[in-house]
Amino acid sequence: MMRKGKVLFCGCALIGLSVSAAEKKLIELGWDIPTTAFMKAHWAEMDREAPFDGVMFSVALEDEGKKYDSQWGFDNTPWRRAAFTNAVADLKSCVFTRLTNNFIRLNFSPGSVAWNDDAGWKILCEKAAILAWVAKAGGAKGLAPDFESYGEHLFRYKPGGPLGFAETSALARRRGAAFMTAVAGEFPDAVLLPLWLNSINLKAGAGIDPGAILAAEEYGLLPAFINGMLDTLPPAMTLVDGCENGYYLDGNQAYLAVAQDMRSWHGPAARLIAPENRVKYRAQVQAGFGFYLDMYLNEKGNNFYFGPKEGGTRLGRLSENLAAALSACDEYVWVYGEQCRWWRSSKLGGSVEKSVGKGVLWEEALPGVTRVIDRIRDPVTAARAELESLKQKNAATNLVRNGNFAIPDEKRSLPAEWSVWQDEGPQGVFSHDAQTNGGAAKAVKVARGCLLQKYPAKAGELFYVTARCKSLGASAPTVMLRWQRADGTWVRWDADVTLAFASGESGAWRTCSGVAVVPSEAEQLVILLNVHQQSTDADICWFDDVEVYRLGMPGK
């Protein structure tokens, strides 16, 4: 992976309830990259232990004395498609339940085929088609092209030859169109997750004359190749700009700013797209990010180092930035690591033994990293698992006072420990109902109101919340989590969390649950049991079994 030089560009974190894992995905890539044979042998271990939604893997095999490798096959040596049937069988033998978004890593290396070599590019496109077929037949999500120049500098324009930059760019565009046609012919609804697209050239896109800048850039011919891919991109296919420069981003605003540069109609990435392809670019190209784990493992003084913020931990900063990346992306973040491994059965050779990580498991090098990533990837599921573990140790404390509503208030008709708010206008009635479920909170004819309770909180803490309700008539119950300073001043409305109850029949008990991370400035978590839209005495809602658990700080 490219980690040299400066960042080439001139996020909301996990605050409140995150989107589900089905919508945003974390994809693993590293020096522990598995082959299809490794996946066949160890898929159960991989699926059980990795806090990801998928992996990038290689297709590597030997056929008639020749070695084929998706990470080092971008040359004019042809492949025999029949040799890849075992790779398809390997993938079909894997019964993943978590790692369901897997990609074949296709490196454009050694990159030794010239742009004007028609025969060579015909072979390259045939290879791409073979890998697309393996991905489709084997149940993978698609391909992960890596345009980095590990061998020849394919995408750098070389002056002094028979063709100028404009003519070479035209050739590169033609090759990009042929490449996409080959892939789409086998897998028309694939996801292509390149480690970067135009995010590598945002500096040129922001310039007055992008072409003049691209002519001297390391990947100056890549925008032309991308335009060619868009020329023949089928309507069911998705491209993701994996933005490897995401390695260097720090904080919500940094991720959001670069995501905007990739998405904006007139932003620097779109300015490198031919006008005729910009509608397709907007519709089918997503913003993604690369995330470099070693930044949080290396020692201070390393060029690739993000240490703990003041009063925090390495994992705390990792958590903030990974959550920011996942929030700012459209769908995919790929998580890259070199010095350590995720799979117990894998081994890392070479100089890694002299590194900080020494090739051990990531969980050994950064204890707690698996939980941190799990919390970001699928916060509700991770919180439930943590809570269950605490309950087994008798260490779980429900912060809610009278959360089962068994105790009435001696002076009011309300449940003890709960306060009430209603909007101006016709007033309904909140009360304690001793006859329902051994005690419940009841709301009748409440147009807009809530029951409230608050708890001390510190910025960064994670809370898990669950509650039950049942309703008759026109009730619209929700649970809202809001934030106050210690003096009761409301803060950070942008970080409010609203939890909906599961659907169900009228009069049946329904459940809601979710998580929230305390935002900066907040010193109290306030839970609101909301009731809206009641207008008659037949509109009734009950709440019961409200639970709030403090699960600690991310990274701890």
Find the helix or strand (DSSP H, E) in which 174 lies.
helix 165-186
Q: If DSSP codes are grouped into helix, strand and coil, which group holds residue 35?
A: strand
On whether both 67 and 188 belong to a single domain, the answer is yes
* b/e per residue 340-373 (b: at least 16 CB within 10 A): bbbbeebebeeebeebebebebbbebbebbbbbb
Cα torsion angle, 459, 463, 469, 475, sign: positive
The answer as to whether 214 is a domain residue is yes
CA distances from 461 to 161, 395, 519 (A): 60, 17, 8
Say yes or no to pLDDT of 118 above 90: yes
Per cent of the chain over pLDDT 90 is 85
Residues 320 and 146: their CA atoms lie apart, in Å, by 27
Q: Which stretch of 98-102, 495-499, 550-554 has the lowest confidence by average pLDDT?
A: 550-554
Q: What average pLDDT does the segment 531-545 reach?
A: 95
Say yes or no to pLDDT of 3 above 60: no
The domain that contains 121 carries what CATH number? 3.20.20
Q: What average pLDDT does the segment 450-471 reach?
A: 95
Say yes or no to pLDDT of 19 above 70: no
Say yes or no to pLDDT of 179 above 60: yes
On whether both 266 and 197 belong to a single domain, the answer is yes
Cβ atoms of 263 and 212 closer than 8 Å: no
- What pLDDT was estimated at residue 20? 47
- What pLDDT was estimated at residue 553? 75
- What pLDDT was estimated at residue 1? 64
On whether both 435 and 319 belong to a single domain, the answer is no
On whether both 318 and 462 belong to a single domain, the answer is no
Confidence label for 506 from pLDDT (cuts 50, 70 and 90)? confident
On whether both 266 and 316 belong to a single domain, the answer is yes
Q: Which domain holds residue 517?
A: 419-552
Q: If DSSP codes are grouped into helix, strand and coil, which group holds residue 444?
A: strand
Cβ atoms of 282 and 267 closer than 8 Å: no
- What pLDDT was estimated at residue 22? 55
The answer as to whether 187 is a domain residue is yes
Confidence label for 503 from pLDDT (cuts 50, 70 and 90)? confident
On whether both 95 and 222 belong to a single domain, the answer is yes
Between 354 and 508, the higher pLDDT residue:
508
Cα torsion angle, 355, 361, 364, 367, sign: positive
Say yes or no to pLDDT of 7 above 50: no
The answer as to whether 26 is a domain residue is no
Q: If DSSP codes are grouped into helix, strand and coil, which group holds residue 179?
A: helix
On whether both 373 and 516 belong to a single domain, the answer is no
Q: What average pLDDT does the segment 446-457 reach?
A: 96
- For residue 441 the two structure tokens come to 């909170």
Say yes or no to pLDDT of 16 above 60: no
pTM of the entire predicted model: 0.89
On whether both 423 and 371 belong to a single domain, the answer is no
Which pLDDT tens digit goes with each residue over 279-331? Answer: 999 999 999 999 999 999 999 999 999 999 888 899 999 999 999 999 999 99
Q: Which stretch of 13-22, 335-344, 534-543 has the lowest confidence by average pLDDT?
A: 13-22
Confidence label for 507 from pLDDT (cuts 50, 70 and 90)? confident
The answer as to whether 425 is a domain residue is yes
Cβ atoms of 256 and 289 closer than 8 Å: no
Q: What average pLDDT does the segment 154-183 reach?
A: 96
Task: Kindly report the three-state secondary structure assignment for every residue of 43-64.
Answer: HHHHHHHCCCCEEEEECEEEEC
On whether both 371 and 442 belong to a single domain, the answer is no
* b/e per residue 435-474 (b: at least 16 CB within 10 A): eebebbbbbbbbbbbbbbbbeebeebbbbbbbbbbbbebe
The domain that contains 542 carries what CATH number? 2.60.120.260
On whether both 106 and 215 belong to a single domain, the answer is yes
Q: If DSSP codes are grouped into helix, strand and coil, which group holds residue 545?
A: strand
Task: Share the mean pLDDT of the chain.
Answer: 93
The answer as to whether 398 is a domain residue is no
- What pLDDT was estimated at residue 348? 84
The answer as to whether 23 is a domain residue is no
Say yes or no to pLDDT of 18 above 70: no
On whether both 372 and 438 belong to a single domain, the answer is no
According to DSSP, the residues that pair with 462 across neighbouring strands are 517, 552
Find the helix or strand (DSSP H, E) in which 193 lies.
none
Specify the number of domains making up the chain: 2
- For residue 110 the two structure tokens come to 């050694």
Which pLDDT tens digit goes with each residue over 195-230? Answer: 999 999 999 999 999 999 999 999 999 999 999 999
The answer as to whether 112 is a domain residue is yes
On whether both 372 and 449 belong to a single domain, the answer is no
Phi, psi of 166 (to 5 degrees): -65, -45
Say yes or no to pLDDT of 161 above 70: yes
Q: What average pLDDT does the segment 383-399 reach?
A: 93
DSSP letter for 436, please.
S
Residues 470 and 163: their CA atoms lie apart, in Å, by 74
- What pLDDT was estimated at residue 6? 32
The answer as to whether 38 is a domain residue is no
